[in-house]
């Protein structure tokens, strides 16, 4: 299952910087994960200071 970024995202960019496959990008009000690119590694969740990336 791919990760998604919930509404606790503070748009700091830590998840994007930590994604090894470039599956995360800035959305309108928070970062978003491209489910087709996500490899479910959990790097985004490990880097996020507020726990916004969660498994779908």
Distance CA 28, CA 41 (A): 24
pLDDT for 1-43, tens place per residue? 899 999 999 999 999 999 999 999 999 999 999 999 999 999 9
Q: What is the pLDDT of residue 1?
A: 83
- Total structural domains within the chain: 1
Residue 56 clears pLDDT 90, i.e. is over it: no
Q: What is the pLDDT of residue 44?
A: 98
Q: What is the pLDDT of residue 4?
A: 97
Quote the domain boundaries for residue 16: 3-55
pTM value is: 0.92
Q: What is the pLDDT of residue 3?
A: 98
Q: Are 13 and 31 in contact (CB under 8 A)?
A: yes
CATH number of the domain at 36, please. Answer: 3.30.70.20
């Amino acid at each position: 299952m791919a990760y998604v970024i919930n509404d606790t995202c503070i748009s700091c960019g830590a998840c994007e910087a930590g994604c090894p496959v470039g599956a995360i990008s800035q959305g309108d009000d928070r970062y978003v994960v491209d489910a087709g690119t996500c490899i479910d590694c959990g790097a985004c969740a490990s880097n996020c200071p507020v726990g916004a990336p969660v498994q779908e």
